[in-house]
Amino acid sequence: MQNNINGSEAINMALHDSMRLSKKVMTFGLGVTDPKGVFGTTLGLEQTFGSDRVFDTPTSENAMTGVGIGLAVAGFKPVMVHQRLDFFILALDQLINSAAKFHYMYGGAVNVPITIRLILGKGWGQGPTHSQNLINLFASIPGLKVVMPSNAKNAYQLLISAINDPNPVVYLEHRWVHSIKSDFDKKRLKPFEIGGIEAYGEGKELAIISMSYFTHEALIAKQELDKKNIKIKIIDLLSVKPLNEKLLINELKGIKKILILDLGFRYCSFASYLSNLIKDKLHICDIKIIDSGDLSEPTSYFLTKHYYVNHADIFRIAVKMLGLNRTVKTSTLTKRSHDVPNRDFLGPF
């Protein structure tokens, strides 16, 4: 049976399915057992699987991450949940010096199958310390896998794959993906290998490489371009690390121009790595990068509306890159609210 569910429901379903299949799977973190269940993603888990496997934790990120790593080493498959990526910064010592290193330090004899859900993203005045995407930091650490879902379908697939992976996986979860709906039949979903990508469209003039919520905005821009008979390709990087370079390069063969959409900051960025990779392998030089610059997200509504990039901006930039800005009107798209993903989002949690 085909379902139409949003990202929150898909993540909740993935947790229920994983915990039902294996008693080794546990879910814990701040707010996991609260009435709102971390944007609805953990609702019903404690009632179904009990407080031994689903529980709230003290506000001590570093210590609790250490507990999670210990559980993973002991053979469990813990899923640790953080309502803010920013708060997890306190646990970087455990992540970088323990979870990411143990398999290497012990000659492959020790695995750390922990999944760490880090929720990030804009909205409702989140500001500099409640919204940032540290993709560049996590991707730079040997031993870590880093994934970023963009819709309900791949949110489910990626979380299932992350929980079953023998290595530590950082699951970067944009809160605006929680409200994006997808049609999919769970029974027909194939296992998703971490490292894969998803491609949309067959255009050869321009390809947009995007990730996480940016893919949603890019696809809206693509729909508008399709109406004007302008064909482009969208490549969604569901896995930042590992990156299937061979698959990516194959998708980009024959492409003339590339626009990279990166939710992270500019310096030492993942987008820069991608740009250099593409130039080296395919000798494509017409590459433009859209990122968060060297500037933290403002809190003020009147400042953030000039900070965020959405489908209207992507549409305009794509038309300009294709040299069509004199013949295609770029002012026909109107920006919807940049600060609230849906009417149910009452913020800040």
Report the catalytic residues: 61, 130
Taking the CA atoms of 18, 19, 22 and 28 in sequence, report the sign of the dihedral they define.
positive
In angstroms, rounded to a whole number, what is the distance separating the alpha carbons of residues 207 and 203? 7
Upstream peptide bond of 348 is cis (omega within 30 degrees of 0): yes
Q: Contacts from 20-23 at CB under 8 Å and sequence distance 24+?
A: 22/77, 23/53
Asked if 339 contacts 123 with a C-beta cutoff of 8 angstroms, the reply is: yes
In angstroms, rounded to a whole number, what is the distance separating the alpha carbons of residues 245 and 196? 9
* Three-state secondary structure of 168-192: CEEEEEEHHHHHCEEEECHHHCCCC
| Amino acid sitting at position 4 | N
| Helical spans, DSSP H, in 98-244 | 102-105, 135-139, 152-164, 213-227
